[in-house]
Amino acid sequence: MTELGRLIEVNKLQAAQVEKLDVGANHQMTTICFIIGQDGLEAKFSMEFCMAILLLRGKAGLSEFSDQVVQQADVQEMVGRINFYVDPEAESAGYDKMTSLLKIHLKDGRVLAGRGDFAKGSPLIL
């Protein structure tokens, strides 16, 4: 999420510009998450929801993880634009890094890419 936040800020992205977002990860990350999340609790474990809400609202705080927010039409529509999949590069990076590879496909044809190897708060981030 940190890398997506950085890409949003640097590129002044708006959700309406995004055609789709590919999020590549290792297979462990893809198996511990709900696909979409139908309520606030499931959304906390949904990569698709977390990415979608960050694109839509620019934040993913406690108030975003409510049943009401999760079930909003714009949120569910954006969740449908997130492709969370096992990526060979992320898989080969090892489970100690939890690598995430982002490709934001914009409606104007541009593709923005980013990579995160450690989560925010990791002791390995200096």
Contact 45, 51 (CB under 8 A): no
- Report how far apart, in Å, the C-alpha atoms of 100 and of each of 10, 11, 69, 103 are: 18, 19, 25, 10
Q: pTM to 2 decimals?
A: 0.87
Q: What is the pLDDT tens value at each position of the chain, 126 positions in all?
A: 789 999 999 999 999 999 999 999 998 888 776 666 678 888 888 899 999 999 999 998 898 999 999 999 999 999 999 999 999 999 888 777 788 999 999 999 999 999 988 666 655 555
CATH number at residue 88: 3.30.1330.120
The reply to whether 123 falls in a domain is no
The reply to whether 125 falls in a domain is no
Instruction: For residue 33, count other CB atoms closer than 10 A to its CB.
Output: 19
Work out how many domains the chain is built from and give that number: 1
The reply to whether 124 falls in a domain is no
Pairing mode, strands 82-86 and 111-116: unpaired
Its domain, for residue 35, covers 2-116
